[in-house]
Structure 1
Amino acid sequence: HGIRPIDLVVINLYPFEQTIAKEGCTLEEAIENIDIGGPAMIRSSAKNCNDVTIIVDPKEYDLILEEMKAGSVSLETRRRLSRDAFAHTARYDSLIATFLSGQWEEGFPPSLNQPYTKVQDLRYGENPHQSAALYRESHPLKTDIVSAVQLQGKELSFNNFIDLNAAWELVREMDSGAVVIIKHTNPCGVALGDDQLKTFILAREVDPTSAFGGILGFNQPVTVKTAEEILKNFVEAVVAPGFDPEAIKLFSAKKNIRLMQMPGEVSNVEDQRFDLKRIGGGLLVQSQDYLNYVEDQLKIVSDRDPDAREMEDMKFAWLVAKHVKSNAIIYAKDKEILGIGAGQMSRVDSARVAVEKARKSLSGAVMASDAFFPFRDSVDEAAKNGISAIISPGGSIRDKEVLQAANEHNIAMVFTGTRHFKH
């Protein structure tokens, strides 16, 4: 029929991803921007890469033009472009499937099609013998750590990203000025206050040994005075919503310190995205643990009511406990964390570790536990060290024994009805 063979196909699909990224995008607008014929042509061209060059990314134009001017596009290049083309249509379809699942389904979809785009290779993974890379979601929030802008410092490592995320997720939940110091994803120092410099010093004093080489998180712009104090000790990185220009100048004297600035407003927005945890041969999927406490669900169960100061400290300690590896025990007083017990296999051991970590008197401090007390031993341990009030989820079959211990020691006890295991 005189049809000449096609050896070059260049296709730019309808801008579905850009359309759904727009605020207020309607379902009709999204569907209108679903390309139909384009993906079919891309796939047929990619399938025939031995004879056809398929281009789906404008960034490839210059390279292909150079090869064409030199004679022809090499088979090696055509095969690479074929691979990229199939990945391109797969990502395009997954964006559509994910969007429509969110529009038409509730709960967990029958299959997960979540596209991630490679941002960069990392030096190595959790350990030097592991390779690693960073991938970005299709539409990360401005409050996500992957959206942070690096102002200075060495290349971020795999562990840096994990710890920066832990630091930012904690401080952005606080209503007032907060400082956290993270080591291996666990907070080793947290404090609240209006005076940022004083608050940072209080956070560092919780566990100065562990704070060495830690990751710092702030939910307010870092001031010059705070920067001066930070530079007195070694830290890996600092994440904050901003930095005073003079503070940045000070940090520039230590060029290895990584400064990460968050572009979005500090806010604890309920996150509707899934939390994913890989296991051998599968993936565990759950909703995000965005819940702190529900005010009208806080239940005073002890004979003695907590006073206003104790109640505020318990709420603060409870929020911090949510971000500590289970079993988690927190001691706090006057919006300052005094001791942290993390990751112990028994709750009473976490209570004892938190006592050992405390550098200040625990007399009059409060205790927070991320889950219920299986026995009264943790309450007795708290009483020995002067704890005056305890907050926990409740729900143990031995709640009566635990409450009896609290009343024997004149400890005020509050149940939240919500557990915050973290593994």
Structure 2
Amino acid sequence: MKLRYGINPHQEAGPVTPVTPGRWPVRLVHGEPSFINMLDALNGWQLVHEARRILGRPAAASFKHVSPAGAAVSGTVDEVTAELHGITGREVGALASAYLRARDADPKSSYGDFAAVSHPVDAELTELLTGMVCDGIVAPGYAPGTVERLRRKKSGRFLIMEADEKFVPPELEARDVFGLHLTQRRDEVELSPALLRAVDEVPPDAAVADLLLGLAVLRHTQSNSVCYLRDGVTLGIGAGQQSRVDCTRLAGAKADTWWLRRHPAVRALSFRPGVRRQERINWQIRFIEGDLTPDEHRRLGQALTVPAGELSADDRAQWIRRLDRVAFASDGALPFRDNVDHAHRHGVRYIAEPGGSVRSGEVEEACREHGIVLARTGLRLFQH
């Protein structure tokens, strides 16, 4: 397999070869991938394949820069997501629902994503993809006619990859960095409900499913990372931060934005014909954030048929207080109770983290104060 270029366009890429001769985890169906495209495809496929195995439902992920912007399993597509994609009142199939829910987690970041799905691409998902700004997809197969339709996307530059569901990766992983050859044993610990050891109270089944999905997401997200989830959907993913509480706050802000996009004042924004879907998304988010520049105020006014209503700080706070039943997973031990205090602000009722911090007792006490069910996994899931 030949790559267009390395991580940056000025870096020439060498050929891609399988570690085990003749055993490819993915095959290129159409297009010419870059180095990052390959990383997104390989990480995305591992995530959705693992989520499907754990939860027994179709799974999808929207990858950007080697971390998921969103991930989800199949389920109900709510009115906000349906309206955005023009499918209100229409029944949505399992695989399409998984990808729509995954992409809606952080639709601003998902612009130009690499999609990964756990089941063969069908005609319904193909139809949705043709109307989205998406760079490529990896899946375990393609229904008749879908590849031909997707080939035409992006003027023929849309990437199509097929994953081998039966591929077994080597036990050892290797990486060459600055003249050194680093190896380690692959992380093969199974994610299962048995990992979630309750501290005081056993989480309900729905929360267990969300926490397991969160652990699968974190395993394939750049560390440090945390994840907020509800009803089989990631609401906010905080990735690649040096401080864990910064991850918690960043992902919490994304969860709030997801929830505020459901606020009546945001749904009432009436855009002029011709304003594209991504522009509407971006304006909704800027309206929610509320710190528009004078130029943004002018351009938002031009994009609307009627002036925007009010969304005051008090309106935001009252609406956010209605967000509930949120699960929170962390790839590393919570070192201080501040992570719990911040997570509680975003409707968190269930937490899964490895434990083992010198202040784990303080973390437990914070969970009790906030009425949060805490489960310890004893398993760190760093990804670098």
Q: Same fold (TM over 0.5)?
A: yes
Structure with the larger RCO, 1 or 2 (CA within 8 Å, 6+ apart):
2
1:281-360 paired onto structure 2 within 5 Å: 281-293=179-191, 295-302=193-200, 304-358=201-255, 359-360=258-259
1:233 is matched with 132
Deviations 1:125-163 (A, max 9, x none): 111221111231352575613xx131x23x111221111
1:382 is matched with 343
Corresponding letter in the other structure for 1:368: A
1:149 is matched with 28
Change (3 A) 1:239 1:297: closer
Check conservation: 1:292, 1:319, Cα contact below 8 A. Answer: no
2:357 is matched with 396
Q: Quote the offset at 1:331 in angstroms.
A: 0.6
1:277 is matched with 175
* Pair 1:177 & 2:38 matched: no
Change (3 A) 1:266 1:199: farther
Check conservation: 1:219, 1:266, Cα contact below 8 A. Answer: no
Change (3 A) 1:137 1:222: closer
The alignment yields a C-alpha RMSD, in angstroms, of: 1.9
1:260 is matched with 161
Corresponding letter in the other structure for 2:380: R
* Whole-angstrom CA distance in 2 between matches of 1:169 and 1:196: 17
Question: TM-score, structure 2 length as denominator?
Answer: 0.73
Q: 1:165 aligns with which of 22, 42, 59?
A: 42
* Whole-angstrom CA distance in 1 between matches of 2:119 and 2:222: 25
Change (3 A) 1:273 1:247: same
Check conservation: 1:293, 1:416, Cα contact below 8 A. Answer: no
Q: 1:224 aligns with which of 119, 123, 130?
A: 123
* Pair 1:136 & 2:24 matched: no
Check conservation: 1:191, 1:202, Cα contact below 8 A. Answer: yes
**Identity level (%):** 34
Q: Aligned to 1:172, what secondary structure does the other structure show?
A: helix
Q: Aligned to 1:209, what secondary structure does the other structure show?
A: coil
Check conservation: 1:294, 1:416, Cα contact below 8 A. Answer: no
Q: Quote the offset at 1:294 in angstroms.
A: 5.2
Q: Quote the offset at 1:253 in angstroms.
A: 3.0
1:408 is matched with 369
Q: 2:328 aligns with which of 357, 367, 373?
A: 367
Q: Quote the offset at 1:295 in angstroms.
A: 4.3
Which of the two has higher C-alpha Rg? Answer: 1
* Whole-angstrom CA distance in 2 between matches of 1:314 and 1:258: 31
Q: Aligned to 2:15, what secondary structure does the other structure show?
A: strand
Q: Aligned to 1:134, what secondary structure does the other structure show?
A: coil
* Whole-angstrom CA distance in 1 between matches of 2:19 and 2:251: 41
* Whole-angstrom CA distance in 2 between matches of 1:373 and 1:138: 36
* Whole-angstrom CA distance in 2 between matches of 1:401 and 1:315: 24
Check conservation: 2:192, 2:212, Cα contact below 8 A. Answer: no
Aligned length: 296
Deviations 1:306-345 (A, max 9, x none): 1111111111111111111111110111111111000111
Question: TM-score, structure 1 length as denominator?
Answer: 0.66
Q: 2:6 aligns with which of 125, 128, 134?
A: 125
Q: Aligned to 1:245, what secondary structure does the other structure show?
A: coil
Change (3 A) 1:177 1:143: farther
Check conservation: 2:197, 2:377, Cα contact below 8 A. Answer: yes
Deviations 1:84-128 (A, max 9, x none): xxxxxxxxxxxxxxxxxxxxxxxxxxxxxxxxxxx53x3321112
2:279 is matched with none
Change (3 A) 1:350 1:197: same
The answer to which of 275-284 and 326-335 deviates more is 275-284
Corresponding letter in the other structure for 1:149: L
1:68-147 paired onto structure 2 within 5 Å: 119-120=1-2, 122-137=3-18, 139=20, 144-145=25-26
* Whole-angstrom CA distance in 2 between matches of 1:314 and 1:135: 35
Check conservation: 2:219, 2:331, Cα contact below 8 A. Answer: yes
Change (3 A) 1:229 1:184: same
Q: Quote the offset at 1:412 in angstroms.
A: 0.3
The answer to which of 227-236 and 276-285 deviates more is 276-285
Check conservation: 2:114, 2:135, Cα contact below 8 A. Answer: yes
